[in-house]
Chains A and B, each alone.
Chain A
Amino acid sequence: MTSDARIVDTNRPVAVDASWLPNHAFGHHSLMWWGTVGVMAIEGMAFALAVLMYVYVWTRLDAWPPDVLPPDLHFGTLNLAILVASLVPNAYAKRAAERYDLHGVRIGMSVCLVFGVAFIAVRALEFTALNVSWDTNAYGSAVYLLLGLHTTHLVTDVMDTAVLAVLMFTGPLEKSRFVDVSENALYWYFVVAAWVPIYVVIYWLPRWL
């Protein structure tokens, strides 16, 4: 530190004494929030582009949907209901995390995981009811791209949640892990919110357009 002594006089006053500051923060004050929001922006953009590709294919075709039936409604709609319902335990886990309630976090995340397993199972059934394959035509390709993209998010989000939930049971724990739980819940909101427009595109645009 000798060479910078000319410029930075370490005898200057203490501008900030950080020792009294907290060592973690929730919401947009935390780095984790920005990381999560950054990923959400990237993936939101990818979802938007996949929808755009779907619509672009629609503009190129005369018959719609081309020579196939629209996807059956029941599994997709059921999954919409399950995903929306999962917002309840998710919100519960987020709130519990923000008041450092370990017991509440464990309950909230466990219930979320049950929902997670349910919607992945229903998602598998959704793939059987699309009435089109990815290699039938460009419409089928676009449908599979959208549904595949969202499924990737479902699976990774459930896995993230599972790993974090196990950690909340086994430790080692510190208070900043509650920030992770809170941000994980934020990402869950995103995955659910993304499904609403994608559901409309996959299941209703073939009927409306």
Chain B
Amino acid sequence: MTVDTTAGALAPEPGGEASVAELLTPHARRFGGWADAPGVLGWISTIDHKRVGRRFIGTAFGFFVAGGVLAGLMRLQLSRPDSSLIGPDLYNQLFTVHGTSMMFVFAVPMMQAMAVYFVPLMVGARNIAFPRLIAYAYWVYLFGGLMLYSALVLNIGPDAGWFSYTPLAGPQYGVGKRSDFWAQLITFTEVSGLLVAVSVITTVFKLRAPGMTLNRMPLFVWALLVTSFMVVFALPSVMMVSTSLILDRLVGTHFFNPAEGGDALLWQHLFWFFGHPEVYMIFLPGLGFVSMIVPTFARRPVFGYVAIVLSLIATAFLAFGLWVHHMFATNVPELGKSFFTAASMVIAIPTATQLFCWIATLWTGRIVLRTPLLFVLGFFFILVLGGLTGIMLAAVPLDLQLHDTFFVVAHLHYVLIGGAVFPLFGAFYYWFPKVTGRMLDETLGRWNFWLFFVGFNVAFFPMHILGLQGMPRRVYTYAADTGWGPLNLVASLGAVVVVASVLVFVVNVARSCRMGVHAGANPWHASTLEWATDSPPPPGNFHPPLAVARREPLWERAGVSGFVEGLANDPPEALVTTLLDALPHHRLAFPTPTIWPLLAAIATSVLFISSIFTPWAVVWGSIPVAITLIAWFWPSRSETRKHVRLERVS
């Protein structure tokens, strides 16, 4: 035990501390190692989960708007028959990039971004676990999304649909580099998504405030914990399959080439083994938002906490047993299909359980109807409709009839927009005051909600009928004598209303950032820990960190049992607690801000994008990646000195 662990370290220089202190801004002096450097350097090197989370949310919203613009162009094209505004080639790119954008660079990253911002606050942590990885994950994600849109702008965007089926996307039919951009976008977003998932799991398991047993975690934290586990087990599948696709296209492997023993259905199995759980990765965080908003605006703890947690877990398990219901139109064995029909129906049970828990909470509460709750009520309505068409599509004979029609388009938008985007907008209204310190305007909020709710239904409900009438999805136009013109026009008018609604939201955010009513720490008088710190929370979140003794710490007497003393601010120290009972275990010095995650992300992006053009990029491109990662890892002498000073062995 007497080994000198400071081998090679310099002795502390006398007077070194004082000279450093003189350089610090008052901000940095107050928050110690939690604070970022001022200016541009601080901006690019920050590893504060709130700053990274905020830009993550902002970027994901940007891609939501971009994907929405593409949808608007498609609705414009389809608003009348025989339209020649957009040709088939551009239309293929539009629906592919729209779907890819919404699924891979908006929905999953947005939900994870909300986790990056809010999970640490809700569990009382001072930062997210592995904050440098989170910074890296953000940059990788940003560069991937920009690559996708750059390809589209250059008219070489992917054009084989968001699930990029082979052989259409394979080397024989997918000419040029279009599907390669798609495959590498997957690599970008999945690297990012997997890193965020591991960080969230670790944060939830090890950085909870002392006293916050698993049984006292907020339901949003539960939802994101379960989602993160789904990410860990589902995303490798799409990474493998997109890698196989690019190998087929780039170096002539035969995974999906039936002439040489490959099989196009292998693509579908692997894609949907990821793709179906992905729907639930988007949906479960939505349920998490609802479970936070409902109790606050019903002014009572949620009814059926344990039932909701178990439902989340059950949903996650079942979600991995549904993927073949996307393949009912293929030659998989009929007996197998009936199992997947059954599983698709069973998954309605945990979802319904949660729905009834929320209804019971609202029924027995004192409802305060504000915009966040309005979006939740809209979610109930739309999700139930989407769930009903889901049960219809789970039946093989009906699915065969409706496969690849607008009925499916209607269904998936009811489920995804109803199940995820409505709760997400509710969440924006609910937590905006925490992030910015100001309230969003309630009147504009109601306009936002009603325009969205009405516009959405006008846009998507007619698609059910169009699908039943036989209109296939992904057609760039249709003849006038099909009679599909009027309903398509109605759908396009609905889309205009949705656009207006999102514009109202953007105006609301822009106005409220500058002129909104000051929120204070807890404007909704909610019960969970994120409301126990300032709005916006300071670097390091809680000064001092809190200990909790109840599930609703801010509502119950002695819910916050006290605070944690004896943690340094420089180096930034946090308390690590045990997995089940959140008993204090050890102190941990967090890493400090650094520019290396950004540089590593740039090196990674160069590797990924170059490998679209030459397989050798994987070899030479990995050298800068290795260099940046090593530089990132290598500890600085000054940091190490600070750590050694506080060192203590159990």
Contact = CB atoms under 8 A, between A and B. Distances in A.
Contact of B566 (A20, A34, A66): A20
Given A8-B560, A15-B547, A137-B260, A3 B534 contact: yes
Given A22-B648, A142-B255, A53 B579 contact: no
B240 interface: yes
B244 to A, nearest CB: 7
Interface stretch (B289-297, B461-469, B626-634): B626-634
Contacts of A45: 232-233, 236-237
A170 B270 CA distance: 46
A167 interface: yes
A4 B534 contact: yes
Interface stretch (B139-147, B195-203, B299-307): B195-203
Top-3 shortest CB links A-B: A171-B8, A19-B566, A15-B562
Contacts of B533: 4, 8
Interface in A9-37: 10, 12-25, 28-31, 34-35
A135 B253 contact: yes
A18 B649 CA distance: 13
Interface residues of B, number: 91
A25 B585 contact: yes
B366 interface: no
Contacts of B614: none
Interface stretch (A54-62, A109-117, A122-130, A186-194): A54-62
B261 A100 contact: no
Contacts of B565: 14, 16-19
A25 B650 contact: yes
Contacts of B635: 167, 172, 174, 177
A182 B585 CA distance: 19
Nearest to B1: A100
Interface size class of A (residues with CB under 8 A): 35 or more
Given A21-B585, A53-B244, A56-B269, A174 B561 contact: no
A5 to B, nearest CB: 9
A10 B542 CA distance: 11
A209 interface: no
Given A13-B562, A46-B236, A23 B587 contact: yes
A171 B636 CA distance: 9
A31 B130 contact: yes
A170 B359 CA distance: 62
Interface centre among B6, B129, B202, B561 (most CB of A within 10 A): B202
Interface stretch (B388-396, B486-494, B639-647): B639-647
B129 A31 contact: yes
Contact of B261 (A1, A49, A103, A137): A137
Contacts of A60: 261-263
A186 to B, nearest CB: 15
B532 interface: yes
A35 B253 contact: no
Contact of B206 (A12, A31, A39): A31
A134 B194 CA distance: 28
18 contacts: A1-B543, A3-B520, A4-B522, A7-B532, A18-B566, A20-B648, A25-B586, A29-B586, A41-B232, A41-B233, A53-B244, A53-B255, A56-B269, A57-B261, A66-B261, A100-B3, A137-B254, A163-B634
Contacts of A120: none
Contacts of A34: 129, 198, 201-202, 205-206
A145 B247 CA distance: 9
A101 B248 CA distance: 49
Given A34-B205, A39-B198, A141-B254, A29 B5 contact: no
Which among A39, A43, A138, A140 has the greatest number of chain B C-beta atoms within 10 A?
A138
Interface in B1-28: 1, 3-9
B240 A16 contact: no
A4 B520 CA distance: 8
B278 to A, nearest CB: 15
Contacts of B544: 10
Contacts of A21: 566, 575, 584-587, 648, 650
Contacts of B253: 134-135, 138, 140-141, 144-145
Contacts of A38: 197-198, 201-202, 232
Given A12-B560, A42-B194, A171-B9, A28 B566 contact: no
Contacts of A170: 8
Contacts of A135: 251-254
A24 B261 contact: no
Contact of A173 (B8, B206, B522): B8
Interface string A152-163: 000000010001
A93 B561 CA distance: 42
B511 interface: no
B325 to A, nearest CB: 19
